[in-house]
Amino acid sequence: MKINIDIVRNTRYKGNIVLSALAIVGCETSESALSDAMPDQIGDGAAVTGKFTPPGDGTLVIIGQTSDGIRYYLDNAGNKPYGVTIYTNPILDGDGWSLPGGGTASQSATYRDDYGPQSLTYLQQEPQLGDRAVAVGLYIGFAYETDVAYGENRMRDVVYPQGVIYSGAQMRENLSHMITDLKALNRPVFLRIGYEAEGYWNGHWPDAYKLVWRAVKDEITAHNATNIATVWQLAAYCESSVGPIRNPGPLVASDPIDKYSNEKRVVSPGDYEDWYPGDDVVDWTAISIFTQGYDCDTGSKQGYQVMQEVVDYLKQKGKPIMVAESAPKGYDLANGVFEQVGLPRRTGLSGQAMWDEWFQPYFDFIEVNKKFIRAIAYINDDWEQYNHWQCTTDDNGNIVSGCVEDAWNNSRLDANPTIQSNWNAVITGGGYVLDPMDRDTAR
């Protein structure tokens, strides 16, 4: 199949031309200029501003997504990010959250072993993070949203078939305590409520989803937690077909059947409006960037061209945009390997080759949209050390074991000296913000 691959001019790097990450699938390419692939989005106007946006058109740098990943960065990067990430849910399933009955939550085995440790205590006690912002991913998938929205108890059948039962009312009380804890951090907090809103793996029922959003916003207001900015995040996910080979495909989203079940459907960016909770409760919008460079093809647009359409949709909201989750999914930065379900394994990749394939198009995309994308969050983790993310394929991309959500591999920047050096050159070379803002002007 012949695919037109967008070529992006990177103005930050003095006009170097780089191929989109779609090149890794070995498709025949025909080049197109930046004006055809991604029209100039920079222009002469001022950067979009909002709660906690930095002065000028700078872009905040946030690192996550586990306590391990943050620690790796602090120990090896040679710089400190503007902020770090943490994840939780309505049962406060992570270390350090205040509980309604007194005491604090402990680290769950689910986070510790399966997805990666999430510790509020670590963020509170690590001296290097004392003045750093925190981006919080509040998970409300499965049946959390309907329980919280309607006072139901369906999560007992999903998470706790033989254990503690949390009612919707108890979860609401937990969320109130979560806001109390986040306010007490006394630093900027970006609260990503129900992140990846349309992702079919989350199964967000739009009506319940928007009710939970407003319930959380009401708690923020009731607590006068002015240090919290709300973030509405899209997955912007393209569904590739995996047969003998992996073929890129269109944007897809959840297709709710009723408030308890869903399928998936092909969408255009305008369909995301089904999950939009309203201008009055949203401070930032956001996207994820993982495999879109090699998984997106709508027929007329490919790779980052598809992502540009999503960003253009978000621009209409008039709010700052965050890349709230990003990583070179499939790349093992430590060993120079690309491994992905449905694609041939490639070995012997140099750090510069991996940079050119994934990181360069990523930063090019941010540069093109730099007056709108005001923050990026990178996942600095060795995914394979946690059970859920483990994946082994053969040389042809056939699954040998694991691969519940494809292959993620190792995106630790310090795992490859070239990648770490290039990263540092970009984020310290101007245009990116690492130092925390003055608190009086930030709020």
Residue 144 has pLDDT above 50, yes or no: yes
Using DSSP bridges, classify how beta strands 16-19 and 399-402 pair: parallel, antiparallel or unpaired: unpaired
Q: Report the DSSP beta bridge partners of residue 284.
A: 231
- Return the higher-pLDDT residue of 372 and 106: 372
Residue 437 has pLDDT above 50, yes or no: yes
Using DSSP bridges, classify how beta strands 331-332 and 391-393 pair: parallel, antiparallel or unpaired: unpaired
What's the CA gap between 407 and 338, in Å, rounded?
A: 9
Q: What is the pLDDT of residue 440?
A: 32
Residue 241 confidence class, pLDDT cut points 50, 70, 90: confident
Q: What is the DSSP letter of 95?
A: B
Q: Which two tokens stand for residue 35?
A: 């004006």
Residue 220 to residues 181, 195, 198, 411, 428: CA-CA distances in angstroms?
A: 11, 17, 24, 34, 34
Q: For residue 65, say if its preceding peptide bond is cis, omega within 30 degrees of 0.
A: yes
Please state the rounded mean pLDDT for residues 237-265: 88
Residue 439 confidence class, pLDDT cut points 50, 70, 90: very low
Q: What is the pLDDT of residue 6?
A: 29
Taking the whole predicted model, whether its pTM rises above 0.85 is answered as: yes
Please state the rounded mean pLDDT for residues 110-131: 95
Average pLDDT over all residues of the chain: 87
Q: What is the pLDDT of residue 260?
A: 73
Q: What is the pLDDT of residue 209?
A: 96
Residue 5 has pLDDT above 70, yes or no: no
Residue 245 to residues 254, 341, 358: CA-CA distances in angstroms?
A: 25, 9, 20
Q: What is the pLDDT of residues 19-64, one digit of tens each?
A: 233 333 333 333 232 333 444 445 558 899 999 999 899 999 999 9
Which residue segments constitute the domains of the chain, with CATH numbers given? 39-356+367-442 (3.20.20.80)
